[in-house]
C-alpha cells in the first residue's frame, strides 16, 4: 500500500471536500478522487459518502482513519530514525501570535542560525484558532499560543513562560500622570485600540470593558496589526494593552507611557505540537531553543 494514499485519506477527512484536500495537498482534484478510489478498492470498503456539500466519512472510514494516521506517523518516525546521525537540517514552520513574532522569535532564529545553520525557520503569524488548525493539518511543525489554558484535541501544549501585560497611553495623555491608579469606571470612558479578535489578551480586555460599561458601548477599535494599534496610542488617540516585551523600547524612548490602573493578568505562552506527529530533529532543535529563550528572558 502506498502511504501517500493514506495522506490523501487524512486530508479529505480533515477538509470534508475533494477541493479542500486538493488545495491542501497541492494536487489536482481528479488526482485526489483517483487516490481515494484506489485506497477504497485496496481496503475493500467505502471510506466516504459523496454528498452535494462534500465528503462525509462512513462508519468504516471513521474506524480506519485513526489506524491510517498511526501508519503515517510510523513512516515519519522511520524516516527520522534513518537520519538521526546526520546533521540537524531542514525547514521548520512555526505559527505564533504577532506579538511573539515581533518580540521574541527574531532572537530565537538568530541563535539557531549560529547553532544549526542548516535549519530554516518559517514564521506564520496566526491567532490560536489558526495555529491549532495548522498543527492538525500538518502545515505547522509547532506553534506558540498566547492563552491561559491550551487544551485542544490532538494538540499537546507545554507552558514555557508568562508574559506581563501593560496598559498604555501616550506620554501626554491625562492618564499618564495620575497619582492614583485609574479605575475601570474611568478607563471605560476612554477610546481603546486593540489587536484583532482572536488575540486572547485583547479579547479579555474588550470583554472586561463591555462588562463595566453595561448598557453603554465602549469605544473599541480592532486592528490586524499591533503596530497600527500602537501608533494610534502613541499619537494620543487612546489606550491599548500589550505584552511588556513588545513595548520596552517605546517606553524607554518615551513614545509610550504605562497607565497605572487595575491589575492585569499575565498571559501564558504555550509551545504546542501535534500529539501524534513525530518531530524532526530540526523541529526538536527549534522547540528546545524556544524554551531556552523564554527561560533566559524571565
| Same-domain pairing of 130 and 273 | yes
User: pTM for the full model?
Assistant: 0.71
pLDDT at residue number 289: 95
Residue ending a domain, among 28, 61, 82, is 82
| Same-domain pairing of 56 and 16 | yes
Pairing relation of β-strands 257-258 and 90-96? unpaired
| Same-domain pairing of 35 and 181 | no
| Same-domain pairing of 275 and 211 | no
pLDDT at residue number 80: 67
pLDDT at residue number 83: 60
Please give the tally of structural domains in the chain: 3
| Same-domain pairing of 250 and 276 | no
Q: Give residue-wise pLDDT tens across range 67-106.
A: 998 888 787 777 666 666 667 888 999 999 999 999 999 9
| Same-domain pairing of 181 and 134 | no
| Same-domain pairing of 54 and 193 | no
Residue ending a domain, among 54, 82, 110, is 82
What parts of the chain have a pLDDT lower than 50? none
The percent of residues in the chain predicted with pLDDT above 90, rounded, is: 75
| Same-domain pairing of 203 and 117 | no
| Same-domain pairing of 53 and 187 | no
Note down the domain range covering 18. 3-82
pLDDT at residue number 137: 84
pLDDT at residue number 85: 63
| Same-domain pairing of 196 and 206 | yes
Which CATH number belongs to the domain containing residue 71 in this structure?
A: 1.10.10.10
Which CATH number belongs to the domain containing residue 247 in this structure?
A: 3.40.190.10
| Same-domain pairing of 169 and 252 | yes
Convert the chain into a string of H (helix), E (strand) and C (coil).
Answer: CCHHHHHHHHHHHHHCCHHHHHHHHCCCHHHHHHHHHHHHHHHCCCCEEEECCEEEECHHHHHHHHHHHHHHHHHHHHHHHHCCCCCCCEEEEEEECHHHHHHCHHHHHHHHHHHCCCEEEEEEECCHHHHHHHHHHCCCCEEEEECCCCCECCEEEEEEEEECEEEEECCCCHHHHCCCCCCHHHHCCCEEEEECCCCHHHHHHHHHHHHHHCCCCCEEEEECCHHHHHHHHHCCCCEEEEEHHHCHHHHHCCCCEECCCCCCCCEEEEEEEECCCCCCHHHHHHHHHHHHHHHHHC
| Same-domain pairing of 170 and 202 | yes
Q: Give residue-wise pLDDT tens across range 116-125.
A: 999 999 999 9
Residue ending a domain, among 48, 82, 116, is 82
Amino acid at each position: 500500500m502506498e502511504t501517500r494514499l493514506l495522506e490523501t485519506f487524512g486530508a479529505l477527512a480533515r477538509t470534508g471536500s475533494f477541493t479542500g484536500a486538493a488545495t491542501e495537498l497541492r494536487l489536482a482534484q481528479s488526482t485526489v478522487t483517483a487516490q481515494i478510489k484506489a485506497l477504497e478498492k485496496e481496503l475493500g470498503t467505502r471510506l466516504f459518502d459523496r454528498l452535494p456539500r462534500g465528503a462525509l466519512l462512513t462508519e468504516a472510514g471513521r474506524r480506519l482513519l485513526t489506524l491510517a494516521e498511526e501508519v503515517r506517523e510510523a513512516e515519519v518516525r522511520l524516516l527520522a530514525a534513518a537520519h538521526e546521525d546526520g546533521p540537524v537540517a531542514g525547514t521548520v514552520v512555526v505559527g505564533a501570535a504577532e506579538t511573539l513574532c515581533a518580540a521574541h522569535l527574531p532572537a530565537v532564529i538568530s541563535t539557531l542560525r549560529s547553532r544549526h545553520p542548516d535549519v530554516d525557520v518559517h514564521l506564520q503569524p496566526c491567532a490560536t484558532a489558526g495555529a491549532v488548525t495548522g498543527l492538525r493539518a500538518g502545515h505547522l511543525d509547532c506553534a506558540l499560543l498566547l492563552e491561559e489554558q491550551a487544551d485542544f484535541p490532538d494538540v499537546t501544549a507545554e507552558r514555557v513562560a508568562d508574559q506581563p501585560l501593560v496598559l498604555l497611553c501616550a506620554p501626554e495623555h491625562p492618564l499618564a500622570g495620575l497619582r492614583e491608579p485609574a479605575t475601570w469606571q474611568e478607563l471605560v470612558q476612554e477610546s481603546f485600540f486593540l489587536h484583532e479578535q482572536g488575540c486572547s489578551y485583547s479579547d479579555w480586555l474588550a470583554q472586561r470593558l463591555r462588562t463595566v460599561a453595561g448598557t453603554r458601548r465602549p469605544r473599541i477599535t480592532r486592528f490586524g496589526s499591533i503596530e497600527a494599534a500602537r501608533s494610534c496610542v502613541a499619537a494620543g488617540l487612546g489606550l491599548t494593552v500589550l505584552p511588556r516585551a513588545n513595548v520596552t523600547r517605546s517606553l524607554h524612548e518615551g513614545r509610550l507611557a504605562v497607565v497605572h490602573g487595575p491589575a492585569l493578568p499575565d498571559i501564558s505562552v504555550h509551545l504546542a505540537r501535534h500529539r501524534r506527529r513525530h518531530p524532526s530533529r530540526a523541529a526538536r532543535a527549534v522547540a528546545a531553543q524556544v524554551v531556552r529563550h523564554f527561560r533566559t528572558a524571565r
